[in-house]
Amino acid sequence: MRVIYASGSTQVEHLCDLLINDFRQTGMNLSQQVDATAQRLRGDIDVALAEKDTSFAERSAAMQGQTLAEQADAELTLVNAQAIHALKALKTANQDLVKALTEQQYNAADIENLGAQINMLATAIKTVSAR
């Protein structure tokens, strides 16, 4: 188990870093693309509402779009924060597991702590996968 986890832990660490980057709005990946869509929508709404010949129906649709863009932005910010928090917890749990395995110091407190870290890891995975 020590040998397997020693090699696997580096990959877990790298995967966590990649996922953290995915959930950063400036991380040049997933979140930035979602954010770009909301920015395009906001730009269109701004022009539509400023145009004098925009009909009432189009203005109404633009206002609804504005609300949707704001909701999407708020949700994205929240999901990103939750995911990054969970992934940082996952990294910590991963590092603690490696330390416990390599130092071979297993007492009751360590095992209890490891259990808590694994629970945290499970919570982190649930949070990320649920999104």
Partner 1 sequence: MAIGDDLHNLASSLLKLMHATDSIQEKIALRRQLTAVLEETERIIGVNIDTASAEYAAATRGMAGASAAINAALEDLSKVAATIETVAKTIDLLSKLAAQAGLI
**Residues of the shown chain interacting with partner 1 in the complex, contacts defined by CB under 8 A:** 24-29, 32-33, 35-36, 39-40, 42-44, 46-47, 50-52
Nearer to partner 1, 35 or 96 (CB): 35
Nearer to partner 1, 31 or 94 (CB): 31
Q: How far is the CB of 19 from partner 1 (least distance, A)?
A: 15
Nearer to partner 1, 32 or 82 (CB): 32
Nearer to partner 1, 25 or 82 (CB): 25
DSSP string, the chain: -HHHHHHHHHHHHHHHHHHHHHTSTTSSSHHHHHHHHHHHHHHHHHHHHH-TT--HHHHHHHHHHHHHHHHHHHHHHHHHHHHHHHHHHHHHHHHHHHHHHHHT---HHHHHHHHHHHHHHHHHHHHHHH-
Which of 5, 7, 34, 12 has its CA nearest to residue 87? 12
